[in-house]
Amino acid sequence: MTLRKTCHRGNFKSRRGGLCSVERSLTTQTMQRPNKGKTPRRPGPKKAANIDKDPVGVYCRIRPLGAEDEECCLEMISSSTIQLHAPDGLKANRNGEYKETQYSFKKAFGINTNQLELFEDVAKPLIEDLIHCKNGLLFTYGVTGSGKTFTMTGSPGEGGLLPRSLDMLFNSIGPFQAKRFVFKPDDKNGMEIQGQVDALLERQKRESQPTVPKTPSSRQKADPELADMINSEEACKSENVDEDCCYSVFVSYIEIYNNYIYDLLEDAPFDPIRPKAPQSKILREDQNHNMYVAGCTEVEVKSTEEAFEVFWKGQKKRRIANTELNRESSRSHSVFTVKLAQAPLDADGDHILQDKNQVNVSQLCLVDLAGSERTSRTRAEGSRLREAGNINQSLMTLRTCMEVLRENQMCGTNKMVPYRDSKVTHLFKNYFDGEGKVRMIVCVNPKADDYDETMLVMRFAEMTQEVEVARPVDRPICGLTAGRRHRNRVFRDEMTRRMDERGGSGSSVDDTALLDQMMESLPALPRCELLDPADDQTLPRLMEVLERRHRVRQMMTEQFNKSATTLKSMLQQFDSQINSKETFLHDQRSKLSEKEKVINSQKSELERLEKKSKTLEYKIDILQKTTNMYEQDKRSLQQELETREQRLHRELTEKKRMEQRMQGMVTDTKHKWEKECERRVNAKQLEMQNKLWVKDEKLKQLKAIVTESSGSGFPSERPEKPERPSRERDHTRSASPSPLQGNVFKTRGGGQAVQFTDIETLRQECAMASSRKRHSGSGDGAAHMEDIENRAPVPSTSSNLGYQKRRKP
């Protein structure tokens, strides 16, 4: 028995424990989960360290403006680059200049892109991977009113990604679908296989229950809102479909509203008296560590119209509301899951192989995320405000998970990714930790009012492109010979043709002729009439003829067996040759697929290098512009510095010249004030000498009067009249017996000042006292007065003098 890897999406249990353990050991490349300490469980399978990874594919779609006169804040530079610039009235930096930022994507779609072009580039590869047992996740992201729901759902005549994906899926697997209820979902995210009889009984049971709503038939008239979603000319089909498998499609539709999960396809009984609110669902983890919604309704569909009708049934239950920015704003995140179950045919190519371990289940999740919004612009209140808060919180959690994933992958850290903080991230955790392609379409509105929100969305998209997920690998279903269905169909056609030929008018004639020819080849029977009971010759002759006929028949049988054996050996030889050729073709195809993988990897590497080169060129341009600007600033500063140096040199020269001039002026002023001070000192000395001379004259006159009145015995002698001091005799007068002493010091203005330290004072005594004394000694008085007149003005100890000079320090 050939062992194969278990299904990536199933919850299958092997009947034999040994086989189950071997299969669990073989699933080394299924899914990798980070170790968390919240819930004790057995550790998940670890992935190989050298597994190939691909970055998350991020695409950008620009919505047309609502009016031609609206201001636009972004433009499409190339097929993969978007440039965002600030609108008028908003300065992006402090210099007052408009800041322009460029963002690169895997591919950008302008306002003239139709839905078919977007589908062929984004969703068509995911449908082909879904048919080849590979998982996929596609979600739209953007601000409110940016066209996310239109991109995912579309409108009549312009079908979105979801209806086109379903149409391509059914166009590809339509002839190879199994009958209803052959595949039956279990309650643990797995798939079971029922026999033809059990499936028939299940169908009859469902049809016999009128209370149970029947699955809509593809022959019924489609909803007018869904009619003409896709034109027949735009239908797509995958050519690489395994014809030796049977397929069945199951769809489910849920919404995440206020961080609660609700089933949009659940048929709850309606009670007009006491209506009940819908019950929320919970998330569980299956044995392969994949997250799923427990108790979610999964509907089996067999055509595109039927799937459309199921989708529209859930779409009518989805919560939408009217806001200031969007007339039909989605108030919840919607998840439409397409699950494809496939199992191989048996060796005869007639029935499905009744082996549960050979069932492979893959799924594609189409997610329409609610748009982020600012309450200051939507003016939301009450329940709308609560909805907006939960929407923004879940989107913030998604961004945080992407940032932690990028940090863990780029820096080699092992931080815990907060998947459980939101139902959206928790549901799609296995896509980022396991295998599967992830595609994101960033929808943007180019109007200037959404500039701030659009810039945040662009930054998130640029960061998401750096997150890598494991590349899904091909999983062969079984080891049976390929082309079983085709050979079975050819055999049936040939048998039908032969039966038709035999059932025609000439068949009886041919059978009769063949029977006659065979009868002629046998020995003829003798006459068998017994006329006499004692006849002993007829029976022996008859027995001899019958024995001869029996020997001839045995010879014919042996010859036929030899011919059949020879033909069988030839057929086996042909089969072995065909198998060898098919093996050779399979090897060549595997080599070709490996070469294609290498080419694709080289292409992706080339695209990455081209994108990196463009980014570096853009950075080089920015650095060149910055360098030119800095050089201009440097030249202007150098010129300003030279100008200031010249000005400073002139100022220094002028200052030196001024200092020299001031020194000359100070010297001149100093000489001038020295002369002036000398003149003033001389004038003051002359004035003082004149005053002294006047006092001496008065003193002499007084002395003469006193002398005349005191004694008549003395001859009157007329004193000589002293000469008045003049300028010409300053030096002679200054040499008087009693000179004045003083200090000369310089003033602040550069001149000189004189301070006298020796001052003479005149004192007059009473005349009566002197007369009384004079009577007592008149003879000595005249001699004494004469002595005073002719004596130098020095201090005297005698107290009988009329006038006495006293010096005070």
Instruction: Summarize the confidence of residues 753-770 as an average pLDDT.
Output: 56
pLDDT category, 391, cuts 50, 70, 90? confident
148 is in an annotated binding site: yes
Q: Which two tokens stand for residue 391?
A: 């929407």
149 is in an annotated binding site: yes
Instruction: Summarize the confidence of residues 544-558 as an average pLDDT.
Output: 83
Confidence check: pLDDT of 734 > 70: no
Q: What is the pLDDT of residue 568?
A: 83
pLDDT category, 793, cuts 50, 70, 90? very low
User: What is the three-class DSSP state of 425?
Assistant: helix
Domain ranges of the chain: 53-206+241-265+277-470
Note whether 440 and 56 are within 8 A (CB).
yes
| Residues 53-206+241-265+277-470, CATH architecture | 3-Layer(aba) Sandwich (3.40)
pLDDT category, 278, cuts 50, 70, 90? confident
pLDDT digits (tens, 9 = 90+) for 420-479: 999 999 999 988 887 789 999 999 988 888 888 888 999 999 999 999 988 877 766 566
Q: What is the pLDDT of residue 539?
A: 79
The pTM of the full predicted model, rounded to 2 decimals, is 0.56
Across 529-533, 610-614, 700-704, 754-758, least confident range: 754-758
More confident residue, 189 or 806: 189
- How far apart, in whole angstroms, are the C-alpha atoms of residue 342 and residue 185? 12
pLDDT category, 42, cuts 50, 70, 90? very low
User: What is the three-class DSSP state of 797?
Assistant: coil
- How far apart, in whole angstroms, are the C-alpha atoms of residue 81 and residue 183? 46
DSSP labels, 473-501? -------SPTTHHHHHHHHHHHHHHHHHH
Q: For tokens 């210099």, what's the residue?
A: 95
147 is in an annotated binding site: yes
Q: For tokens 């989605």, what's the residue?
A: 330
- How far apart, in whole angstroms, are the C-alpha atoms of residue 300 and residue 278? 23
313 is in an annotated binding site: no
Residue 711 CA to chain centroid, in angstroms?
Answer: 135
Confidence check: pLDDT of 594 > 80: yes
143 is in an annotated binding site: yes
